[in-house]
Each structure stands twice: as structure tokens, then as C-alpha cells.
């Protein structure tokens, strides 16, 4: 009988299935507990990004005329807010997840990677609900989906891998240094205002555009906007390829992959000592 890493294929599949089930149970439980006892329940998942969208649209869209001359600015803004909400929530929930499940680590033997995976999946469930707002606005704007929208799938996979890698790094460091929480709080605010979420990339000077689009999050966000906002003028939606040159998106993609790999390696290296350090 053929084997995989010295184990029968059936046992490997069974192990992976059990771990996937573990992730599913933890993620669904955490998601339900998040809204347990609230009157609106899961509706809060949708209300929070919509509230932020409303405030930013009134302040920057109406008062400061950030989207002047850009008819698709509301959808441009909502896409940015929903994607940022996913990234921020996933990192914020995953970072303390190992410490929060310290008692579980000391009692049971299981792959520790299951815990941060479940945390990011909880954020993914919220993200799926938030997509309802984007779909509704797309319908309101009468934008007809096209075949090239299938390219959204690999972009979202890239975003998830980058987010997971970044979250794993912070979660691993948080076990040793609780100050990481304060650093992320500050860094998160800087990233929000330094990323073209509510303003157009064209507002940035050329050098800042290049720096911004090296960020995998910005690259994915802009590519998603380009795919959906196909009616937009070319100067309205900048992408890594148009700013960094032909093949420019390969740089942020490489950074995303490197972040994911580094996060996995760092997590695996520190994993044996998690139980005694939390």
C-alpha cells in the first residue's frame, strides 16, 4: 500500500478531515458566541461596516468631495471598507487566540495551528455576510457581472493567505510579548489611514503610490475594484501593474506568499512551548 509521509493515505485523509472539523466547530462556536445575547445578532456583522461607510461617505464623499467626478465612488469606498474590516478583524481576533485558549492547549493534544485557523475562519464568516452589502450596491448601480469576475477568487485567496500569515506572526509574538497588542492597535490605525480605502490612489504622489501598492492588501483591493468597477476611467482605479509597471503585481504577490510562509515557519518553531508560556 502506498503511503504519504510514512502513513497510509486513508489515515492522512481521516486526520485532515478531523482537523478540518475541529476548525469548523471552533470557528462556528466563536462566531455564535460573538453575537450571543445581542438583540440584532448577526445583523451587527453587516451594520458595523455600513455605519463606517456612511460616516466616511458623508465626511469625505460629500464634505471634502474626495470622489468628485467619480460616479462609482460609493462602491469604491464600500469595497475598501469591507475588505479592511475582514483584514483588521482577522488579525485582531487571531492575535490573542493562542493565549485565550491556553487551558485547551494544556489539556488536549492537537495541532496548535487549528486555533488561529479557526479564528481567521470566524472573520471569514463575517466577511461573507458583509459581501451582501457589496452585492446589493452592485445591483443598485446596475453593474452586470462578467466572466472576468472569476478572477476575484484567486485575489481573495491571496488576501486570506496574506492575512493568515500576518496574523500568525502577531499571534506567535503575542505569546511572548503582550505589548504586541498595543503595537497592532497603533499600526492598524496607521494602515487604515495610509491605505487608499476612502480616498483615490491618484491623490497620492507617484512615490507613495508605488509604496502603497507594494502592500498585498492594497494590491488585492485595487485589483478587486478594477474588476468590479469596469465602467471606471483608467485614471480612477490604479493597480500594481499600472503603477509599478508591467508585472508589477508580482512584487506584492511575492510579499504575500513570503509573509504566509514566514508566519507558518515562525508558528511551527514556537509551537512546542505555547502551552507552558500561556
Degrees to nearest 5, angle at CA 69 with 65 and 70: 95
In a domain, 28, yes or no: no
As a whole number, mean pLDDT of residues 70-94 equals 93
CB burial class (10 A; 0-12, 13-18, 19+) of residue 19? middle
- 94-117 pLDDT, tens digit per residue, is 999 999 887 778 777 778 898 999
Reduce the DSSP state of residue 4 to 3 states and report it: strand
Q: Which residues pair with 7 in a beta bridge?
A: 4
In a domain, 192, yes or no: yes
pLDDT score at 16: 63
Domain count of the chain?
A: 1
Task: Examine residue 1 and state whether it is found in any structural domain, yes or no.
Answer: no
Query: Which DSSP string do the residues of 212-243 spell out, in sequence order?
Result: HHTSHHHHHHHHHHHHH-TTS-TTTS--HHHH
Close Cβ partners of 157 (under 8 Å, ≥ 6 residues apart) = none
pTM attached to this predicted model: 0.87
Q: What is the pLDDT of residue 3?
A: 46
In a domain, 125, yes or no: yes
- Within a domain: residue 214? yes
141-179 pLDDT, tens digit per residue, is: 899 999 999 999 999 999 999 999 999 999 999 999 999
- What's the chain's average pLDDT? 86
Within a domain: residue 82?
Answer: yes
25 inside domain: no
Distance from C-alpha of 185 to C-alpha of 147, rounded to nearest angstrom? 39
Predicted confidence band at 88 (pLDDT cuts at 50, 70, 90)? very high
Q: How far apart are CA 177 and CA 96, in angstroms?
A: 11
Contact 195, 212 (CB under 8 A): yes
Q: Is 14 part of a structural domain of the chain?
A: no
* Domain hosting residue 210, numbered range: 41-277
Amino acid at each position: 500500500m502506498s503511503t504519504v509521509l510514512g502513513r497510509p493515505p486513508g489515515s492522512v485523509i481521516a486526520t485532515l478531515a478531523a482537523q478540518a472539523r475541529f476548525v469548523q466547530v471552533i470557528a462556528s462556536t466563536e462566531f455564535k458566541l460573538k453575537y450571543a445575547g445581542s438583540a440584532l445578532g448577526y445583523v451587527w456583522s453587516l451594520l458595523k461596516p455600513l455605519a463606517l461607510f456612511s460616516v466616511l461617505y458623508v465626511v469625505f464623499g460629500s464634505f471634502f468631495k474626495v470622489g468628485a467626478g467619480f460616479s462609482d465612488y460609493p462602491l469604491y469606498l464600500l469595497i475598501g471598507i469591507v475588505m479592511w474590516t475582514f483584514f483588521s478583524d482577522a488579525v485582531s481576533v487571531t492575535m490573542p487566540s493562542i493565549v485565550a485558549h491556553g487551558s485547551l492547549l494544556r489539556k488536549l493534544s492537537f495541532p496548535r495551528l487549528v486555533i488561529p485557523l479557526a479564528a481567521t475562519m470566524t472573520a471569514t464568516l463575517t466577511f461573507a455576510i458583509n459581501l451582501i452589502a457589496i452585492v446589493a450596491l452592485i445591483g443598485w448601480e446596475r453593474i452586470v457581472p462578467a466572466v472576468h469576475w472569476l478572477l476575484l477568487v484567486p485575489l481573495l485567496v491571496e488576501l486570506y493567505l496574506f492575512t493568515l500569515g500576518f496574523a500568525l506572526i502577531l499571534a506567535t509574538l503575542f505569546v511572548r510579548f503582550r505589548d504586541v497588542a498595543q503595537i497592532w492597535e497603533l499600526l492598524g490605525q496607521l494602515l487604515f489611514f495610509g491605505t487608499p480605502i476612502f480616498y483615490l490612489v491618484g491623490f497620492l504622489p507617484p512615490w507613495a503610490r508605488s509604496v502603497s501598492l507594494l502592500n498585498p492588501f492594497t494590491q488585492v483591493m485595487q485589483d478587486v475594484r478594477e474588476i468590479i468597477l469596469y465602467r471606471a476611467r483608467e485614471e480612477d482605479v490604479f493597480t500594481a501593474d499600472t503603477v509599478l509597471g508591467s508585472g508589477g503585481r508580482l512584487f506584492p504577490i511575492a510579499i504575500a506568499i513570503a509573509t504566509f510562509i514566514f508566519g507558518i515557519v515562525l508558528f511551527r518553531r514556537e509551537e512546542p512551548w505555547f502551552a507552558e508560556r500561556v
